[in-house]
Structures are given as structure tokens and as C-alpha cells.
Structure 1
């Protein structure tokens, strides 16, 4: 059972928006909608109203967690005023300064109390009316992630759609995930699975890739969702994020392939460098024995530094392996992730 699940009487005691009418035979769950916002004063109240209208008849308890990422235009105060009018199921988390979208999203995930967590942008380009469909697919098909696909994206081609198209192709190639739109913030997760990863830097774009380190890609799906053109406020995205995507992608590639075996990564580079350097020095050694002068040849310096660099990579791999073992042996985490096991009743499960 999830550590977030509560007895029915305790679940109903939480200040979550309660259903007005059943909408379908969904399993019992609590839904948390997480929205990071930064300098979105014009969208603060409309966002809360849009989510409230979309989930007014939701058949399970739900809450809205809006994270003000250190806004300087009064967004945080506007969110708090409007949340007080709507109800206690709208919770506002205000960060001390602008920590950027990934940290704000992680703050919202940490504050969420639901068994299912849905993330979305705060610019009203994502449509809250798609939330029930994403959650239904997640629970009906027993998935860990259902991501939105902005099939008919309402953004400019040069500044938004073209960089996103190139980034999606690159991410798909590196991560092996067959998602069409990895940049869409509208996603539904099982909370226990999502909480097994931590988001840093600009890694909110790679959440499916990070989830692939703790669950199978077969437990992920993508469904088309609505997308609207921005009506108010100013976009926080630009071409500069494309460069950050490439840098972050290198980190994703490393952790996906070598997160639990760093010695193979550094050791492989070290062995190649030492082998090449050794061949260079052996060649020069033969020439020296034949009477040629090799002291001023650039190949001597290249071979020497290749051997020394390879040795450094090998020792770095050994140190990385030691740190990894200390990390896992210290109880901080496990090198694997397993789904909950249904324990047999007393007296069962034994042979003989």
C-alpha cells in the first residue's frame, strides 16, 4: 500500500475539493495538481479558476498546489488572495527567490499529498480539462506516467516549435523513449514512483528519462492534449534553453547508462587513452633503438600525456565506484527499484 494512502475517514478529513458526482469507475485515489509560476500576475487568478472549473465534478478528492517561484510582479500575493476565496484545497507555496522551473516543480511535488500527481504550466497554454483523461489512462492501464502530446501546438515556429522539435529528436535518440513531445509539462504520475527521482538544474524537461531509471518505459504512455496560444503575460522560454538542453542531455545519458557503474564509463575512457598512448611510446621506443632521435618529436609528448590522462581516468573510475558503494551501502538508496510485493497470508507461501 502506498505510504500516502489513508483510511477513508482521514482522507475525507483533508481540505481537498470533494466530488459532486461520479464521473467513472476510477480506483480510489487522491489527486494533486502541481503548477509552478513565475511572474504570471495576469494568469494567477484565471489559472486557479480554470483548474477549479475543470475539476469541479471530479469523482475523487483533489488539491491544487501552486508554487510561486520568487515572482517580483505580485504573483504570489495574488495567488494567496484568490486561493483564500476559492477554498483550502488550493495551496500556495512561495519560494524565497527565483530558483527556476525545475526547483519550483520539485517544491510542488514535495508539498503534494496525492496518490496521483499532475504537473502543468502556469501560463494557461495547457488545458486543465485534459487532467481527468490523463489520470483515467494512468489508472485504467496501470501506468506510472502519462504525458501530454501537444499535437496541434499553438506557438511560434522559429522560437518555440523548431527548437522543441530538434530537442525532442535528440532526447529520443539518447534516452530511447518514443515520446513525441517530451517538453509538454502536462503529465500525470503515480506519486510513489515520481518521488523516487529528484529534479535538479533544468531537468524538468527530462522527467520521463529520469523515470526510466526507476520504472520501465512500457509503463509510460503519451496521449494528445489541447494546447492554447498564450493570451497574457510574457513567455520565459527562448533559444538559449536549447543550449541548456544539450548540456543536461549529457548528464541524462550518463545517469541512464552508467549511474550505477561509473567505473565502466571512466575506466573505458582511461583504457582507450592508455592504450593509444602506450602504442605511441612503443613506436618511439622502437625508433630510439634504431638510432633515431625522438626527444623533440610531438608524438612523445602526446603519448606521455595520453598515458597519464588514461591513468587519471582509471583512478577517477575507482573513486567513483567507491563513492557509489558508500552511497548505496549507507542506506541512502538502492541500485534497483521494485514494485510493491503482495505478501502472502500467515502460514502461506512456504513449501513443505
Structure 2
């Protein structure tokens, strides 16, 4: 299998058939051996019925239906697990990603040896206030935090070597950061390609302004996980020891002052340094225990089921 095209979707019944026909024409004109994996993330319209109809006409069409809406990251995880192609390409189902980009994306992976090729929608047809400006701020923060010089982390059109998607875990809302996850897993050949962005033809976006808030929170999470996910004691333990030393220093100062400098002065409990010392030592102990418990959890955790599949087609 040359190419697996993974398409997560939610309530996109108007665009699915048109997108399928467009992809099929591109694949056939380039003589690619391919599969199209639609992941229905709990749609409440007729999306699943359309996927079933397409699968009867085209054996390359495969489908996964979630029992309810679990999110794009979970949909991609299920699609990656089912993908059999040497190159895996993801795109959105709203017709804003152009399937004509697929051959060049494939060549950038297969011929140029890149691990990941991320699309860059340099010219966008989205709202400037609700999407373009927040997206620029988000991408700036993502570049600064991750060290990856990508201009568009949010672009759904990406291409991967199959080894990449089989060796990373996409969970929570981490679909924006798959290139970062790939980098952390050791896949260093990550590049970017300017892709054509198209105005939405049907329906409305499924993402609101809150996705950028969630995106920044996820960015902090992935920064922490990438640096301290395997050894949380390195962060919490170090902070805990530092706080404990600060508290211990104040305690020693108070003790020496009371015993040798000013034995008839105020009681130790009447001095503000006493409460600083007490709070610092308690917080330091708690941080140290948090790191210790984190180490135990990292070493004993098991993979959790993050979604429930109700139906499959050709998988």
C-alpha cells in the first residue's frame, strides 16, 4: 500500500462524497495504490450512511465510526492504527484542504526521505479576527516552546512516514502537535510545504475560539511531557528540594537568632520568618512527594481506552 489518507470528520455529510471523488481522481491519475479511511467522530447527520455507500462502490474506502464524539486526536489515533500505507496523509473533510497536494506530499516523504511534512496555509480564507490573528499568536508560541520552525501547526494537511504514526501516541487534544511528538520520538526530518487553502463550501467550522485557549494549555502540557514526562522527579524534586532548603535556611536563622543573638526578644512564632520557613518546608515536601508519585505512575501506567468504536468498514 503506497498511501493511506486519514480523514477525521464530524457532521460533514455535504462534503464527503465530493471529497472522495476528488481524492479518487487524484489517486487514479497518479496510479497510486491507496486507501481512504474516514473516521466518523460521533456525527449526528448522515455522514456514516454516505461512508457506507461509498465503501460499496470503492473498496479503497474504509470507515470507523465512534459511538460518540471523542475528539479529533482520538479519531486520528484510530485512523493511524488502521492505516496500512507506506505514507500516511491526513486532511480535513470540509474541502478546505486540496487533494491535488497529495502527490507532492508523497514525494517529499518517499523520495526526499522526510519523516513529517506539515502543510502551511500561507494564504487563508478564514476570519481574520476569530482565526487568522489567534492562529498567528498560537503558532508563534508553539515555535518558541517546541523549537520547531513551522509556520502552521494547526494545518490538518500533513504527511508522515508510516513508522512515525505507528510510534507516537496522539491523545487529549494533541493533534496540533504531532510534529512535536514526532520530534520527541526521534524523527528529526521535519519540513514544511506551502499548501493551497480553500474557503469552506458547506456548513460551518466545528471549532470555536476556545480551541486556542485549549491549544495553549496543550502546548504547556506537551512542553512539560517532552522535558519531564519520563522523569517528573527532575522538575518536582528539584523545586521541592529548593523550597525545603529555603525553609530550612530561615529556620536555622531563627534558631541562631533566638539562642545567641536575641534570646529575650519576641517569640519565634511571632516573627514572619517563622511562617515563611514553615510554608516553604511544607510546600517543598509536597513538591518532592508529587515528583515521587509521578515517577511511580510513569513506571506503572498502562494504555487506557480513549474512545469506543461502534462500527467498522473494510477494516
Q: Residue 107 in 1 paired to residue 78 in 2?
A: yes
Report the equivalent of 1:133. 104
Give the TM-score of the pair, scaled to structure 2. 0.89
Give how far 1:311 is off.
Answer: 1.5
Among 65, 78, 81, the residue aligned to 1:94: 65
Which whole-Å deviations, capped at 9, do the CAs of 1:225-262 have from their partners, x for residues lacking one? 11001111110122111111121112100121122222
8 Å CA contact 1:37–1:66 kept in 2: the answer is yes
Q: Residue 57 in 1 paired to residue 29 in 2?
A: yes
8 Å CA contact 2:73–2:174 kept in 1: the answer is yes
8 Å CA contact 2:27–2:33 kept in 1: the answer is no
Among 132, 135, 150, the residue aligned to 1:164: 135
**Within 2, Cα distance between the matches of 1:326 and 1:41?**
43
Q: Residue 266 in 1 paired to residue 236 in 2?
A: yes
Higher relative contact order (CA 8 A, sep 6+): 2
Say which SS state the counterpart of residue 159 (structure 1) adopts.
helix
Report the equivalent of 2:292. 318
**Within 2, Cα distance between the matches of 1:299 and 1:191?**
59
Please give the root-mean-square deviation of Cα atoms over the aligned residues, in Å: 1.8
Q: Which one has a larger percent helix, Structure 1 or Structure 2?
A: 2
Among 77, 80, 88, the residue aligned to 1:117: 88
Give how far 1:292 is off.
Answer: 2.6
Which whole-Å deviations, capped at 9, do the CAs of 1:198-219 have from their partners, x for residues lacking one? 11111001111111111243x1
8 Å CA contact 1:287–1:294 kept in 2: the answer is no
Which whole-Å deviations, capped at 9, do the CAs of 1:45-65 have from their partners, x for residues lacking one? 111112112222233311100
Which whole-Å deviations, capped at 9, do the CAs of 1:120-144 have from their partners, x for residues lacking one? 1111101011011011011112111
Report the equivalent of 1:215. 186
Say which SS state the counterpart of residue 155 (structure 1) adopts.
coil
Say which SS state the counterpart of residue 212 (structure 1) adopts.
helix
8 Å CA contact 2:41–2:70 kept in 1: the answer is yes
Matched residue count: 299
Report the equivalent of 2:205. 235
**Within 2, Cα distance between the matches of 1:284 and 1:213?**
47
* Structure 1: segments with no counterpart, 5+ residues: 1-28, 333-352
Give the TM-score of the pair, scaled to structure 1. 0.80
Give how far 1:276 is off.
Answer: 2.1
Report the equivalent of 1:335. none
Q: Residue 31 in 1 paired to residue 17 in 2?
A: no
Assess, with a 3 A threshold, how the Cα gap between structure 1 residues 77 and 298 changes in structure 2: closer, same or farther: farther
Among 147, 172, 179, the residue aligned to 1:201: 172
Give how far 1:282 is off.
Answer: 2.9
Report the equivalent of 1:74. 46
* Structure 2: segments with no counterpart, 5+ residues: 304-315
Say which SS state the counterpart of residue 151 (structure 1) adopts.
coil
Report the equivalent of 1:256. 226
**Within 2, Cα distance between the matches of 1:125 and 1:296?**
67
Say which SS state the counterpart of residue 93 (structure 1) adopts.
strand
Say which SS state the counterpart of residue 56 (structure 1) adopts.
helix
Say which SS state the counterpart of residue 117 (structure 1) adopts.
strand
Give how far 1:90 is off.
Answer: 0.8
**Within 2, Cα distance between the matches of 1:285 and 1:167?**
50
Report the equivalent of 1:293. 267
